[in-house]
Amino acid sequence: MVSAETNGNNSASMKLIDGRKLAYKERGVPKEKSNYRIIFVHGFDSSKERDFLAPQELMNTLGIYIIQFDRAGYGGSDPNPKRSLRSEASDIEELANHLELGSKFHIIGFSMGSYPTWSCIKHLSHRLAGVAFVAPIVNYQWPSLPKSVTKNDGRTRWYKRMTLVARYAPKLLHWWMIRKTSRTTPTNNSKPTYFTDKDLELLKNAPGFQFLTAEKIKSRSVFNNLRSDFLVAFSKWDFDPLELSNPFPENDKRLVHIWHGCEDRFINLKRQRHVSERLPWIQYHEVRDGGHLLIYDTIVCEAILKSLLLGEDTPLYTPKFSS
């Protein structure tokens, strides 16, 4: 077993095969008493401290053990100068092996944490018991994503420009991000426009959440890690998720889920619906008044767990559009 050290407060770290440190924390019931073991994959500018806000009573009742870890370069984990889709999946597999999660475990991937999750479906499907994507990104560079889905979305142009600048002009991007965060950081009751009122209300009870600030982004190591994460997420991938086959062909239940808020200002709703239509083995759910931060809505988190683990139907979150 790879060596590990404990940091207190249910937080610990382990050393990966390549020598990097990976930090994680344990939540829910003790692993030895658990019925379900879940790895939660956080998003951009985040960490293991941003909890998936499932009700503790539900976790106790169902016997849920959750691992939250810092992806490479975030929180207490060392950066990975060779970060890739495959390396992110490998980190998850090493973590699962270190914690002896067994032959199969569940994954919940949030926002940018969806690209490591897609990579797990591609490369580690034999280790998965089920997957839930929550407000996942949709990469405009997926080869089979039709232009009709992206052509009228201004966010596509923004991501294209940002990807080019991040790759070829990182100093310019660093300057721009410092300037941008100086203007948009919520001070004097100002509100960032990319979060809905529902998102901001949920943040009042969200532990560990901090907005990206100019002071934080001035750190070159923080910037380099964010840039690395963004480039891997929105550059060309070595596979096309829209061409993937069902990772659970032997099971007549849909064990992969996508949850999306209809008011999400980060991820285009039309693209998410297209993904669900292209991949009929995915169970698609929509939260009508939901923004991007669904993981901080305890009611939605409860529905996510019951759907993922118990296969419960969720008529309240059944999308109201024609396939």
The DSSP code for 235 is S
- The chain-wide mean pLDDT, for the chain, equals 92
Position 303, amino acid:
A
From CA 81, how far away is CA 313, in angstroms rounded?
42
Report pLDDT for 186.
47
Report pLDDT for 270.
93
Question: Is 145 inside any structural domain?
Answer: yes
Tens digits of residue pLDDT in 237-293: 999 999 999 999 988 889 999 999 999 999 999 999 999 999 999 999 999 999 999
Q: How far is CA 58 from CA 3, 63, 107, in A?
A: 32, 8, 18
Question: Is 297 inside any structural domain?
Answer: yes
On whether the CB atoms of residues 39 and 98 are closer than 8 A, the answer is: no
Task: Answer whether residue 8 shows pLDDT above 50.
Answer: no
Report pLDDT for 189.
47
The DSSP code for 233 is H
Indicate the pLDDT class of residue 19, thresholds 50, 70 and 90.
very high
Question: Is 280 inside any structural domain?
Answer: yes
- Mean pLDDT, rounded, for 66-81: 97
Does 321 or 302 have the greater pLDDT score?
302
On whether the CB atoms of residues 44 and 74 are closer than 8 A, the answer is: no
Q: How far is CA 80 from CA 13, 87, 140, 154, 228, in A?
A: 16, 9, 24, 31, 9
Report pLDDT for 293.
96
On whether the CB atoms of residues 175 and 17 are closer than 8 A, the answer is: no
Task: Answer whether residue 209 shows pLDDT above 60.
Answer: yes
Number of folded domains that form the chain: 1
From CA 102, how far away is CA 82, in angstroms rounded?
28
Find all residues with CB under 8 Å of 242, minimum gap 6, and list them: 142, 144, 145, 275, 278, 279
Question: Is 166 inside any structural domain?
Answer: yes
CATH code: domain of residue 236:
3.40.50.1820
Question: Is 269 inside any structural domain?
Answer: yes
From CA 273, how far away is CA 275, in angstroms rounded?
5
Task: Answer whether residue 321 shows pLDDT above 70.
Answer: no
From CA 214, how far away is CA 146, in angstroms rounded?
37
On whether the CB atoms of residues 90 and 83 are closer than 8 A, the answer is: no
Report pLDDT for 14.
97
From CA 113, how far away is CA 107, in angstroms rounded?
10
Query: 87: closest CA among 120, 114, 110?
Result: 120
Which parts of the chain fold into alpha helices (H)?
56-62, 85-98, 114-123, 147-150, 154-168, 170-184, 197-203, 214-217, 220-234, 269-278, 298-305
Query: 177: closest CA among 129, 144, 225?
Result: 225
Question: Is 322 inside any structural domain?
Answer: no
- Mean pLDDT, rounded, for 147-156: 85
Query: 208: closest CA among 74, 58, 88, 79?
Result: 74
The DSSP code for 243 is G
The DSSP code for 135 is S
Report pLDDT for 51.
92
Task: Give the domain range for residue 184.
Answer: 4-317
Question: Is 323 inside any structural domain?
Answer: no
The pTM of this model reads: 0.94
Report pLDDT for 253.
87
Question: Is 83 inside any structural domain?
Answer: yes
Indicate the pLDDT class of residue 191, thresholds 50, 70 and 90.
low
In percent, the amount of the chain with pLDDT more than 90 equals 81
